[in-house]
Homo-oligomer: A and B are copies of this chain.
Amino acid sequence: MAEITIREAITQGLAEAIETDESVFIMGEDIGEYGGAYSITKGFLEKYGAQRIKDTPISEAAFVGAGIGAAAAGLRPVVELMSMSFSLVAFDQIVNMAANLRYMSGGQIKVPMVIRAPTGAGVQLGATHSQSFETWLAEVPGIYCACPSNPHDALGLLRSSIKSDNPVIFAEHSHLYGSRGDVPDDYYEIPLGEGKVARSGEDLTMVSYGYGVHILEQAAEQMAQDGVDAEIIDLRSLSPVDYDTIVASVQKTGRAVMLDTARRTGGIMSEVVSEVQERAMDYLDGPVMRVGSKDVPWPYNRNLEQDILAQSDDVIKAARKIISF
């Protein structure tokens, strides 16, 4: 057991995959000589060489597409995007090609590829650099999506993602790279689609993923002082969503708040809320509350950005609407 950061967990997962599976290689802008925009692959080029660690031109559509092709031809590429926001220029390749190839070919093609990218707002990068397109990509059939909230899950999910025979979007909230946590020495994996009860409680179910889980933890602590015992579910994967775990919790608590750190509209929680209220209506004491960042483009100014970002206060306010404390 060692305490490491999420950054270190991801670095470890990548190194491990390269060392144990010859078909794994990494590709992306400035991941080699530069060491990665977020230093995830620092030292990799020197250690593993240019065949395994491929610097690319600034051509997301082409190198994401090339990852798909390499995967279709039997390799296991891990493609890094410098930002989830840049996935937009490769959207056709991801949504039309990676996701559909298997289906269109009647099951002949496999696309075992991971697309990793830092995501999320909160560091004043403005409207074009702060977006969370994993919430859209997770909605596409044929794609899996993982969003770890801690080093343990980051490593376990990355292992499953690289081993998956399907395209996986691996979304890393940029706030969390320095976030620390214990990671077992023994090998383990976390299956895609398996959520986790991160805190058990009786009064209220709160659901999020990635950085949102940390916000929920803050909110739960504060609510605990008011005598509210909140259960927290960490989705860990946005596709598949672990509805069984959520519904079981809601059946117990009768109340639910769902948190997206991305914008409220268009976030994955719109899906989750719709589905859960349908599946668990009989158990619900009130509406399923949906909390997310406010529905405007991301501003540069710090106060504005902080005001737009979903915060634990917003979660508590939503909880108050369905439970008095």
Contact = CB atoms under 8 A, between A and B. Distances in A.
Contacts of A89: 61, 91-92
A297 B142 contact: yes
A299 B85 contact: no
A278 B288 contact: yes
A104 interface: yes
A127 B140 contact: no
A322 B299 CA distance: 43
Contacts of A103: 127, 296-297, 299
Nearest to A95: B88
A100 B128 CA distance: 7
Given A91-B91, A103-B127, A290 B266 contact: no
B92 A88 contact: yes
A117 to B, nearest CB: 14
A297 B100 contact: yes
Contacts of A100: 127-128, 297
Interface stretch (A11-19, A40-48, A268-276): A268-276
Interface in A225-269: 263, 265-266, 269
A277 to B, nearest CB: 5
A33 interface: no
Nearest to A278: B287
Interface in A6-24: none
A146 B115 CA distance: 33
Contacts of A95: 88, 131
A78 interface: no
Given A141-B263, A278-B290, A297 B136 contact: no
5 contacts: A88-B96, A104-B126, A104-B297, A139-B266, A281-B286
Interface of A: 61, 85, 88-89, 91-92, 95-96, 99-100, 103-104, 126-128, 131, 136, 139-142, 263, 265-266, 269-271, 273-275, 277-279, 281, 286-290, 295-297, 299
A-B interface, 9 closest residue pairs, ranked by CB to CB distance from nearest? A139-B266, A88-B92, A281-B287, A100-B127, A273-B274, A103-B297, A91-B91, A278-B287, A270-B270
